């Protein structure tokens, strides 16, 4: 049975889908799973052994260009897709864009969330079958439930992201920490002085600190931390997603923000602390015993705002918002030590 799964982005959403794919291939070994994913994230999907074929798509680029060239590329992509006849297409995103891709398959069996469950409710009217899944559940559990209802099998509390084996040959580096300092929203960024203080605490405790960066601004921040904290390091060049994953797997622990690489660290079952302020971890935070989503103990009235601009700061300010600035470096360090101690007891 050939099944097409549509979950194109983002990085964190793809990681949240892995446990559902693990379930599906466990309970339905008759399925040959193909996955449509944004081309920039195709390498991530390749880590999961249950995916028989990866179908990269450049939808973000085409939607941005909206010209004849983009339309021509899309038509060629669609023609290639239609060379395969799918018994079932699963729209696991529940958005207009994912619906359009599902319909492009020309399948007569498209399934997804029902109108009460889909992120854009009206898309469910175009499915051949929709299923109710509580919107208040974590994204991992929502996708697991959706695929279990489509595949007609029961799931339990325990789950696996299914990608650990891909990185099994990588050896752990004792007392190696990785800090993920960047994210796409300025309201998700932590105070640079707090990063420096955290790095000092780690170095003083005998740990090595490597700082992952992905943009020039993040590289500049990493250099300022290194200048203030002799002994900390950063990669010389921007790394691929797989290279970052390899670095995370080798680490003893990770501290990051609400960003894809923090989710990756959690998916790889590395002790990970993720800092949250403007966004909420309730539905899309890190999940699993190895992780901890850290917020203010006494949240501000405006939390979570889910805004790219903090209303408590001047317009266009890039300063750290109060919801994150009030999280102290010693608190983060102590929470990381708790997770590291738990990992030591387990092993």
Characterize the bridge pairing of strands 51-57 and 129-131: unpaired
- The answer to whether residue 208 scores a pLDDT higher than 60 is yes
- Residue 184 and residue 237: Cα distance in Å, rounded? 19
Predicted pLDDT at 246:
97
Predicted pLDDT at 342:
83
Predicted pLDDT at 309:
95
Contact 204, 232 (CB under 8 A): no
CATH number, span 169-346: 3.40.50.2000
DSSP reduced 3-state for 251: coil
Same fold, 2-162 and 169-346: yes
Q: Where are the domains of the chain?
A: 2-162, 169-346
- Residue 48 and residue 268: Cα distance in Å, rounded? 12
Please write the tens of the pLDDT for every residue from 253-300.
999 999 999 999 999 999 999 999 999 999 999 999 999 999 999 999
- The answer to whether residue 343 scores a pLDDT higher than 90 is no
Q: Which of the four CATH numbers 3.30.750.210, 3.40.50.2000, 3.40.50.170, 3.40.50.620 does domain 2-162 have?
A: 3.40.50.2000
Predicted pLDDT at 279:
95
Please write the tens of the pLDDT for every residue from 63-118.
999 999 999 999 999 999 999 999 999 999 999 999 999 999 999 999 999 999 99
Characterize the bridge pairing of strands 32-38 and 129-131: unpaired
pLDDT, average across residues 164-190: 95
Q: In the beta sheet, which residues pair with residue 74?
A: none
What sign has the CA pseudo-torsion 276, 278, 282, 287?
A: negative
Please write the tens of the pLDDT for every residue from 20-72.
999 999 999 999 999 999 999 999 999 999 999 999 999 999 999 999 999 99
Mean of pLDDT over the chain: 96
- The answer to whether residue 345 scores a pLDDT higher than 70 is no
The reported pTM is 0.93
């Amino acid at each position: 049975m050939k099944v097409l799964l549509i979950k194109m982005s983002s990085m964190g959403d793809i990681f949240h889908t892995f446990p559902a794919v693990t379930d599906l291939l466990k309970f339905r070994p008759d399925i040959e799973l193909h996955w449509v994913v944004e081309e920039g994230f195709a390498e991530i999907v390749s880590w999961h052994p249950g995916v028989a074929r990866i179908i990269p798509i450049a939808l973000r680029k085409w939607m941005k260009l909206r010209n004849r060239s983009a339309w021509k590329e899309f038509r060629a992509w669609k023609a290639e897709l239609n060379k395969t006849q799918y018994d079932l297409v699963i729209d696991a995103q529940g958005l207009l864009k994912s619906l359009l891709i599902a319909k492009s398959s020309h399948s007569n069996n498209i399934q997804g969330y029902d109108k009460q469950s889909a992120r854009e409710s009206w898309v469910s009217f175009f499915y051949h079958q929709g299923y109710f899944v509580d919107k208040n559940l974590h994204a991992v559990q929502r996708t697991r439930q959706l695929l279990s209802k489509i595949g007609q099998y029961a799931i339990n509390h325990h789950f696996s992201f299914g990608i650990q084996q891909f990185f099994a040959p990588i050896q752990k580096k004792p007392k190696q920490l990785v800090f993920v300092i960047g994210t796409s929203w300025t309201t998700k960024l932590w105070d640079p002085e707090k990063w420096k203080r955290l790095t000092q605490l780690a170095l003083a405790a005998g740990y090595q600190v490597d700082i992952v960066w992905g943009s020039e601004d993040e590289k500049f921040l990493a250099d300022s931390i290194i200048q203030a904290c002799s002994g900390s390091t950063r990669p010389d060049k921007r790394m691929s997603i797989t290279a970052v994953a390899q670095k995370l797997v080798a680490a003893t622990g990770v501290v990051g923000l609400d960003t894809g690489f923090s989710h990756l660290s959690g998916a790889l079952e590395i002790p990970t602390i993720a800092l949250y302020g403007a966004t909420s971890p309730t539905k899309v935070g890190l999940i699993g015993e190895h992780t901890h989503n850290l917020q203010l103990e006494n949240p501000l009235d405006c939390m979570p705002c889910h805004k790219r601009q903090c209303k408590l700061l001047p317009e266009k300010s890039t300063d750290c918002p109060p919801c994150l600035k009030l999280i102290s470096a010693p608190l983060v360090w102590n929470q990381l030590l708790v997770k590291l101690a738990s990992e030591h007891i387990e092993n």
